[in-house]
């Protein structure tokens, strides 16, 4: 019988680099050519239509019917000129993936003919059947309709001859069933709150937008090897596999030369991304073998979130052309690094300033410190919520493991800023943050911020939330997640915090305190209240786990426990006060995440059971037979004395293998019973906890013994590609 592993290996070894077709001209010539961007709009829209649309994009508001018709006509003409045949509303249901329903432009007319048709109402609203998307029980089946509504702030684009229109997705009764709707609301909230605070320093600021630059980590694996690992195919990660003798211990992969086949994939990815207006800029090897990263230049957060979803889609498709499969799972391989998606986040004003950039003047520094301290306070107050939105079964394996931030949320500022923060906390409250006389200790320190920050802020790579010179980097986000929840929550908690700051400061000003003193007094109080969130040391260490416990910072190690924060009184108040989501919607989202967790563990547990029973144990028994036959023959051939002298090691192996098989069988059976019991539970949270506490612990127990079997059994018989092959062969 053929061993599928050897066939897969043979195919993977024979692969050659696929040639890349480079488009004519420079990247800047074709950048954005497949998007309905400003220049396409200018070309295809009448002046009035363009002006109206620009106004909505820049200032917000709704598009009227007439403008929608004008835009639709222009968009259709543009799309047809680019060869598009279909259109789709591209949206972000709560599965965390993207969804689309394609319609043709074609409409039959009299005389057996047809025309291409696309109206303002086709553009603005569309009605997919929402019943198969998760709603957390918010929608009863008779109200199965959902609406998608165009988001004009994210340009339409063409992929595979299909015009894709980024949209919001809401239920018939108006509840958001997606990530985009609350994201746009959170962006509006931070805009308003940040502008109000900026006006203390600069009256010209009238708009603030959040910026996001993501870093997408991923693994590539040869598709033939991938296909021979049902666990990778069905769960995205390896449920078995003994560590490769060599993996990342020599640290020779990080920033190393990129293999030729991988380079070809990256080049094609970059070309397609650039044609779609995604400003990807950086590519490099990551720490683990076959692990890579791709990062763009940052953009306005809503657009950047869309671009990240789009690039994940592109990566999957383009990888296939190069006979690779992309693994976005947070921990596809045990024992080597997992993949994250760092979210670099900042705020920019319409006066072209970065609010997290320490300025050159004392006034700019004062503003910088206001935003910095408010972020620190917002993260401290909402650490549980930040932990909740990165809670997924995949990330449970990554957080706190090799080279990944722990499940404890803390803030890293760098030594200089930290000491400045503690200086403010301890100093006399009369000391002003602005330069007046220039005689306070504080004043002497402030103007030096920029110089010192540059080289010191990026040192600590172990923090889940680190200040890196002119932005914060949220590193705990998982590689398979959308950036939307991180952006929603960061914008929202800061917006809420800035509102409090404004009201606290205004109260003091009304009580006749000077503006500078009022700001200083409030910051000092916030620092005092939230300084426990600051941590400069090694977040990967056990010492920090203990220290964090002393500081009473939470450390939720598993998803069901972390998810609780979704429905806490604090979270509900936060979302409701800022009109981003209602309590009912938060409960629904909580339920969706719990169900997702349970289902994923259920699938993993089934695959684990199937593969041990159908692949691993049969292979082990086959080898056992060979060994037994061998021993029997030895007994036939050898004299009694010699036989008892030399057969010992074979018999030992037979015993060892038999014991491991017995253990695996027992644990698989017990796991099945635990699963059955968990499946009988109806409450979503209780069920998720049952999977977490009762079913999941068997995964490692089973794996321990199957890994031992992998080491003992004849390589010729073992049918699942091994770690050394998945991680190295190309």
Write out the residues near ligand ADP by the rule CB under 6 A. Answer: 211-213, 215, 282, 295-298, 342, 344-346, 354, 470-471
- Report the partner that residue 12 touches, choosing among Mg ion, ligand ADP, none (CB closer than 5 to 8 A by kind): none
- Shortest spacing between CB 216 and ligand ADP, in angstroms: 9
CB of 461 to Mg ion, least distance (A): 8
Give the nearer residue to ligand ADP in terms of CB position, either 123 or 379.
379
**In terms of C-beta density within 10 A (0-12 exposed, 13-18 middle, 19 or more buried), how is residue 234 classed?**
middle
Q: Is there binding between residue 342 and Mg ion (CB under 5 A)?
A: yes
Q: Which does 298 bind (CB under 5 to 8 A by kind): Mg ion, ligand ADP, none?
A: ligand ADP
Instruction: Note the helical H segments in 322-459.
Output: 362-381, 383-388, 393-398, 415-426, 441-445, 449-456
485 binds, among ligand ADP, Mg ion, none (CB under 5 to 8 A by kind): none
Nearer to ligand ADP, 275 or 342 (CB): 342
State both tokens at 122. 């086709």
Task: Output 22 or 255, the one with its CB closest to ligand ADP.
Answer: 255
Burial of 406 (0-12, 13-18, 19+ CB in 10 A): buried
Which residue's CB atom is positioned nearest to ligand ADP? 213
Instruction: Determine the Cα–Cα distance for residues 418 and 425; give it in Å rounded to an integer.
Output: 11
Distance CA 588, CA 582 (A): 10
Pick the closer one to ligand ADP by CB: 487 or 572. 487
707 binds, among ligand ADP, Mg ion, none (CB under 5 to 8 A by kind): none
Q: Which is nearer to ligand ADP, 311 or 713 (CB)?
A: 311
Q: Between vectors from CA 667 to CA 666 and to CA 670, what angle results, nearest 5°?
A: 90
| Residue 532: CB minimum distance to ligand ADP, A | 26
Residue 556 binds which one of Mg ion, ligand ADP, none, with CB within 5 to 8 A depending on kind? none
User: Which token pair is 98?
Assistant: 């993207």
Q: Which is nearer to ligand ADP, 79 or 301 (CB)?
A: 301
Number of residues that bind Mg ion (CB under 5 A): 2
Q: Residue with CB nearest Mg ion?
A: 342
Residue 226 CA to residue 660 CA, distance in Å, equals 26
3 binds, among Mg ion, ligand ADP, none (CB under 5 to 8 A by kind): none
Instruction: Collect all residues with Cβ–Cβ distance below 8 Å to 386 and sequence separation of at least 6.
Output: 379, 409, 465, 474, 476, 489, 490, 493
For the chain, how long is the longest CA-to-CA vector? 107
Strand-strand pairing, 162-171 and 86-91: parallel
Beta carbon of residue 342, minimum distance to ligand ADP (angstroms, whole number): 6
Quick check: 341 binds Mg ion (CB under 5 A)? no
Tokens of 140: 């009863």
Q: Which of the stretches 172-180, 215-223, 310-318, 560-568 binds Mg ion when contact is defined by CB under 5 A?
A: 215-223
706 binds, among Mg ion, ligand ADP, none (CB under 5 to 8 A by kind): none
Closest approach, Cβ 483 to ligand ADP, in A, equals 11
How far apart are CB 477 and ligand ADP at their closest, in Å? 13
Q: Which does 471 bind (CB under 5 to 8 A by kind): ligand ADP, Mg ion, none?
A: ligand ADP
Q: What is the C-alpha separation between 11 and 344, in angstroms, rounded?
A: 40
**Residue positions counted in the chain:** 730
Interaction partner, residue 563 (Mg ion, ligand ADP, none; CB < 5-8 Å by kind): none
CB of 573 to ligand ADP, least distance (A): 28
| Closest to ligand ADP by CB, 5 or 471 | 471
Examine residue 275 and tell whether it contacts Mg ion (CB under 5 A): no
Q: Is the dihedral of CA 233, 238, 244, 246 positive or negative?
A: positive
Per rule CB under 5 A, is residue 471 in the interface with Mg ion? Answer: no
Nearest alpha-carbon partner for 175 in 595, 590, 586: 586
Given the rule CB under 5 A, which of 1-9, 120-128, 233-241, 340-348 is the region that contacts Mg ion? 340-348
Residue number, 155 or 213, with CB nearest to ligand ADP = 213
Q: Which among Mg ion, ligand ADP, none contacts residue 295 (Cβ within 5 to 8 A by kind)?
A: ligand ADP
| CA 363, 364, 369, 371 torsion-angle sign | positive
| Residue 367 CB, nearest approach to Mg ion (Å) | 25
Cβ distance to Mg ion smaller for residue 176 or 340: 340
β-strand pairing of 299-300 with 157-159: unpaired
Q: Which two tokens stand for residue 672?
A: 């099945």
The three-state secondary structure class of 363 is: helix
Q: What is the DSSP letter of 439?
A: -
Handedness of CA 455, 461, 467, 472 (dihedral sign): positive
What does the alpha-carbon distance between residue 549 and residue 663 come to, in Å, rounded to a whole number? 37
**Binding segment for Mg ion among 338-346, 446-454, 492-500, 619-627 (CB under 5 A)?**
338-346
Residue 432's binding partner, choosing from ligand ADP, Mg ion, none, with beta-carbon cut-off 5 to 8 A by kind? none
Q: Does residue 417 contact residue 449 with C-beta atoms inside 8 Å?
A: yes
End-to-end CA distance of the chain: 25
Instruction: Name 574's Cβ contacts closer than 8 Å, sequence gap at least 6.
Output: 382, 385, 492, 493, 496
CB nearer Mg ion, residue 89 or residue 342: 342
Binding site residues, Mg ion, CB under 5 A: 215, 342
């Amino acid at each position: 019988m053929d061993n599928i592993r050897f066939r897969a290996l043979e195919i993977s070894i024979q692969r050659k680099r696929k040639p890349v077709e480079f488009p004519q001209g420079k990247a800047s010539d074709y950048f954005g050519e497949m998007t309905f961007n400003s220049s396409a709009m200018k070309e295809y829209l009448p002046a009035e239509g363009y002006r109206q649309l620009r106004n909505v994009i820049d200032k917000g508001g709704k598009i009227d019917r007439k403008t929608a018709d004008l835009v639709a006509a222009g968009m259709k003409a543009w799309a047809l000129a680019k060869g598009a045949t279909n259109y789709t509303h591209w949206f972000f249901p709560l599965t965390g993936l993207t969804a689309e329903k394609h319609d043709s432009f074609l409409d039959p007319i009299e005389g057996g003919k047809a025309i291409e048709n696309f109206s303002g109402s086709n553009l603005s609203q569309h009605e997919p059947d929402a019943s198969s998307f998760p709603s957390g029980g918010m929608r009863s089946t008779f109200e199965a309709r959902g609406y998608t509504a165009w988001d004009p702030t994210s340009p339409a684009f063409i992929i595979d001859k299909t015009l894709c229109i980024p949209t919001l997705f809401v239920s018939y009764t108006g509840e958001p069933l997606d990530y985009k709707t609350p994201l746009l609301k959170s962006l509006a909230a931070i805009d308003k709150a940040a502008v109000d605070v900026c006006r203390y320093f600069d009256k010209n600021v009238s708009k603030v937008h959040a910026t996001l630059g993501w870093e997408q980590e991923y693994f590539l694996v040869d598709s033939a090897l991938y296909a021979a690992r049902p666990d990778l195919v069905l769960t995205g990660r390896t449920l078995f596999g003994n560590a490769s003798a060599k993996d990342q211990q020599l640290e020779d992969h990080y920033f190393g030369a990129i293999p030729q086949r991988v380079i070809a994939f990256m080049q094609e990815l970059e070309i397609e991304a650039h044609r779609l207006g995604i400003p990807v800029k950086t590519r490099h090897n990551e720490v683990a073998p076959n692990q890579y990263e791709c990062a763009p230049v940052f953009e306005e957060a809503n657009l950047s979130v869309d671009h990240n979803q789009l690039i994940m889609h592109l990566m999957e498709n383009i990888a296939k052309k190069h006979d690779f499969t992309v693994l976005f799972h947070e921990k596809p391989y045990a024992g080597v690094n997992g993949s994250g998606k760092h979210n670099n986040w900042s705020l920019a004003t319409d006066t072209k300033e970065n609010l997290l950039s320490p300025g050159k003047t004392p006034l700019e520094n004062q503003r910088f410190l206001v935003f910095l301290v408010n972020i620190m306070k917002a993260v401290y107050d909402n650490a549980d919520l930040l932990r909740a939105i990165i809670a997924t079964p995949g990330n449970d394996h990554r957080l706190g493991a090799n080279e990944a931030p722990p499940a404890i949320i803390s803030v890293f500022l760098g030594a200089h800023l930290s000491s400045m923060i503690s200086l403010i906390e301890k100093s006399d409250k009369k000391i002003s943050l602005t330069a007046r006389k220039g005689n306070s200790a504080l004043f002497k320190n402030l103007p030096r911020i920029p110089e010192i920050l540059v080289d010191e802020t990026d040192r600590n790579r172990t923090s889940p939330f680190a200040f890196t010179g002119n932005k914060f980097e949220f590193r705990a986000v998982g590689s398979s997640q959308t950036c939307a929840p991180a952006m929603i929550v960061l914008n929202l908690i800061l917006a809420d915090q800035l509102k409090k700051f404004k009201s606290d400061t205004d109260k003091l000003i009304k009580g006749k305190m000077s503006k500078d003193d009022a700001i200083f007094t409030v910051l000092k109080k916030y620092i005092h209240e939230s300084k426990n969130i600051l941590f400069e040391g090694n977040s990967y260490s056990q010492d920090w786990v203990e220290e964090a416990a002393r500081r009473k910072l939470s450390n939720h190690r598993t998803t069901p426990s972390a998810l609780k924060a979704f429905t806490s009184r604090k979270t509900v108040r936060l979302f409701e006060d800022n009109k981003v989501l209602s309590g009912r919607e938060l409960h629904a989202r909580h339920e969706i995440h719990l169900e997702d967790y349970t289902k994923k563990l259920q699938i993993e547990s089934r695959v684990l059971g199937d593969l041990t029973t159908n692949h691993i144990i049969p292979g082990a028994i086959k080898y056992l037979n060979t060994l037994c036959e061998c021993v029997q023959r030895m007994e036939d051939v050898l004299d009694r004395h010699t036989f008892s002298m030399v057969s010992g090691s074979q018999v030992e192996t037979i015993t060892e293998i038999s014991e491991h098989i017995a253990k695996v069988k027992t644990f698989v059976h017990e796991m099945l019973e635990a699963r059955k019991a968990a499946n009988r539970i109806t409450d979503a949270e209780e069920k998720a906890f049952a999977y977490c506490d009762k079913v999941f612990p068997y995964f490692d127990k089973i794996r321990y013994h199957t890994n031992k079997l992998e080491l003992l059994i004849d390589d010729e018989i073992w049918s699942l590609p091994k770690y050394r092959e998945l991680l190295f062969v190309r």
